[in-house]
Structure 1
Amino acid sequence: MRKLYLLIWILLFTSFLKAQDNNGPRITALGNAGVALQDVWSVKNNQAGIAGLLKPIVAAGYENRFGVKELSTQAAVFSIPIKDYAIGAAFNSYGVSDYREIKTGLTLAKSFGPKLFLAVGLNYHQLKISNYGNSNAFSIDVGLQYNAFPKLWLGSHISNPNQARYGENTDQIIPTHIQFGANYIFSEQLLITTELEKILDAQADFKAGIEYKLIKFVALRGGISVNPFKQFAGFGLNYQRVNIDFAVASHPVLGYSPQVALGYEF
């Protein structure tokens, strides 16, 4: 029983970090600075980004948090463009049978021409703790991306502005995140992305990442975040319709968290 209580405490502690919501290896490798990117994993980071995708994409990922199996995260996403709209969905599961957080989200994004993307998302949260019962809640997301200049994209996103929280069975909260950022596409080979994130009742965090394509279907990535200082690295393989992405995040105290994802473009 003591081991169970210790495990639940660790899970509760790490659940206050946004990292337990798997953003996909590409965004993770870029320091989690993905608010201005267009990617299928944008459905979990800034839903407006899926409005820039031209084909249906599905992807699934796994993260082994800090090398501890009990802190693993499984995630799946997909996006389908329909004329000027895009529909997306995301699933995220974190924890073990005695403590588990599950988040399911649906997104509707719209492109207003090639320069402006808007999106709104609805999320259903479930929290299951053995001997304490289950709790659930609904939250919303609102996202925007704007192509200010030919090579410069700006993005903003807010999650849980309604400050939803779980029920009476637990004091666990659902954090409210506010993000602003930009990415600059220097060429077909080089991209730099930045983001400023503020979690209510916590200090702001600045993130930055760089992506360089060695060849058309191989990309190398790296990134940092400053609060706390963390380092990220990874790579991506995009061959025909199959995408394989890998990333590893380094926390100064808790250690390394590798993750991998497989995607398919229809």
Structure 2
Amino acid sequence: MKKLYIFIFFGLLNFGLKAQENYGPKITALGNAGVAIQDVWSAKKNQAGLAGITKPTISAGYENRFGVKELSTQAAVFALPVKSYTIGAAFQSYGVDSYNEVKTGLSLAKSFGPDLLLAVGLNYHQINITNYGNANSFSVDIGVQYRVLPKLWLASHISNPNQSKYGDNTDQKIPAHIQFGGNYIFSDQLSITSEIEKVLGNDADFKTGVEYKVVKFVALRGGVSVNPFKQFVGFGVNYQKVVIDFAVASHPVLGYSPQISLGYEF
């Protein structure tokens, strides 16, 4: 069975389905277009967004990719504001005992007034394959968000610009990518977010999503991405410091990936 898992995982690597970032159900439901959003899950998407957090916040999420338990992802994020700074932490685990990837990140975000947010992050990557050993590496992130108009945020994020990989004797590279996008807040009820993402060695992907608050504490979300074409839908409930988010991503070939998170604002 272990050999079967290893075979499956290496097949997925060749198919382009290596472990992907779990950005949390809120950002996922928006088509993963969250580079210009301020949220605790910005700890994984664009750490600059953490500077918009005003209270200590924690959240944990679970994704069941394509309905296959062995492809599930567990993730957790934390944000701690300290004056004009915010300290962020993120954790993600993917796979099974035979093949497992773990990513741990720490970040520091700072607000330069109400319109400019900057951040840097350091990530520690681990990969373990039974009977093949393990490897580890580090990568860095750089993020910025800037409010160019009262209702419009623009943002950019660069991940792993030094193109780190798992050791000198392996071709297993950590994805390097750049994202650029915006978030237009029409009102307290309606916002639209979009971004373009370019992963080194792959074609660029365009993503967009919309959030509509039915009432103050209930939000409906939907989004799409074009490469490949995927659809997303979800909702969020933010009531008395407890935040519950849910999303479903639809892949044109592999099917549906539901995910959920539970958070708390202290």
| Same fold? TM cut 0.5 | yes
Q: What is the CA-CA distance between 1:254 and the residue it aligns to?
A: 1.0
Q: Is the 8 A contact 1:99 1:129 kept in 2?
A: yes
What residue in structure 2 maps to residue 26 of structure 1?
A: 26
Task: Point out where structure 2 has 5 or more consecutive residues left out of the alignment.
Answer: none
What residue in structure 2 maps to residue 215 of structure 1?
A: 215
Q: What is the CA-CA distance between 1:7 and the residue it aligns to?
A: 2.2
Q: What is the CA-CA distance between 1:264 and the residue it aligns to?
A: 0.1
Q: Indicate the SS of the match to 1:165.
A: coil
Q: Is the 8 A contact 1:29 1:232 kept in 2?
A: yes
Q: Distance in 1 between matches of 2:233 and 2:131?
A: 39
Q: Is the 8 A contact 1:86 1:109 kept in 2?
A: yes
Q: Is the 8 A contact 2:246 2:258 kept in 1?
A: yes
What residue in structure 1 maps to residue 186 of structure 2?
A: 186
Q: What is the CA-CA distance between 1:6 and the residue it aligns to?
A: 2.4
Q: What is the CA-CA distance between 1:172 and the residue it aligns to?
A: 1.5
Superimposed CA distance per residue, residues 204-257 of structure 1 (whole angstroms, 9 cap, x where no aligned partner): 000000000000000000000000000000000000100000000001111100
Note the 1:27-176 alignment, pairs <5 A. 27-168=27-168, 170-176=170-176
Between stretches 163-172 and 77-86, larger displacement belongs to 163-172
What residue in structure 1 maps to residue 7 of structure 2?
A: 6
Distance of aligned partners of 1:101 and 1:182 in 2 relative to their CA distance in 1, 3 Å threshold: same
Q: Indicate the SS of the match to 1:40.
A: coil
Normalised by the length of structure 2, the TM-score is 0.97
Question: 1:9 corresponds to which letter in structure 2?
Answer: F
Distance of aligned partners of 1:17 and 1:187 in 2 relative to their CA distance in 1, 3 Å threshold: farther
Q: How many residues align?
A: 265
Q: What is the CA-CA distance between 1:32 and the residue it aligns to?
A: 0.2
Q: Distance in 1 between matches of 2:126 and 2:110?
A: 28
Q: What is the CA-CA distance between 1:177 and the residue it aligns to?
A: 0.9
Question: 2:123 corresponds to which letter in structure 1?
Answer: N
Q: Indicate the SS of the match to 1:26.
A: helix
Superimposed CA distance per residue, residues 189-208 of structure 1 (whole angstroms, 9 cap, x where no aligned partner): 00000000000111000000
Question: 1:105 corresponds to which letter in structure 2?
Answer: G
Q: Is the 8 A contact 1:65 1:71 kept in 2?
A: yes
Q: What is the CA-CA distance between 1:169 and the residue it aligns to?
A: 5.7
Question: 1:192 corresponds to which letter in structure 2?
Answer: I
Q: Distance in 2 between matches of 1:41 and 1:4?
A: 30
Q: Is the 8 A contact 1:135 1:169 kept in 2?
A: no
Q: Distance in 2 between matches of 1:113 and 1:18?
A: 39
Q: Is the 8 A contact 2:177 2:198 kept in 1?
A: yes
Q: Indicate the SS of the match to 2:41.
A: helix
What residue in structure 1 maps to residue 204 of structure 2?
A: 204
Q: Indicate the SS of the match to 2:13.
A: helix
Q: What is the CA-CA distance between 1:62 and the residue it aligns to?
A: 0.1
1:264 aligns with 2:264: yes
Q: Distance in 2 between matches of 1:68 and 1:244?
A: 23
Normalised by the length of structure 1, the TM-score is 0.97
Question: 2:233 corresponds to which letter in structure 1?
Answer: A
Q: What is the CA-CA distance between 1:168 and the residue it aligns to?
A: 4.5
Q: What is the CA-CA distance between 1:164 and the residue it aligns to?
A: 0.3
Q: Is the 8 A contact 2:19 2:94 kept in 1?
A: no
Q: What is the CA-CA distance between 1:133 and the residue it aligns to?
A: 0.4
Superimposed CA distance per residue, residues 111-144 of structure 1 (whole angstroms, 9 cap, x where no aligned partner): 0000000000000000001111000000000000
Q: Distance in 1 between matches of 2:190 and 2:17?
A: 29
Question: 2:30 corresponds to which letter in structure 1?
Answer: L
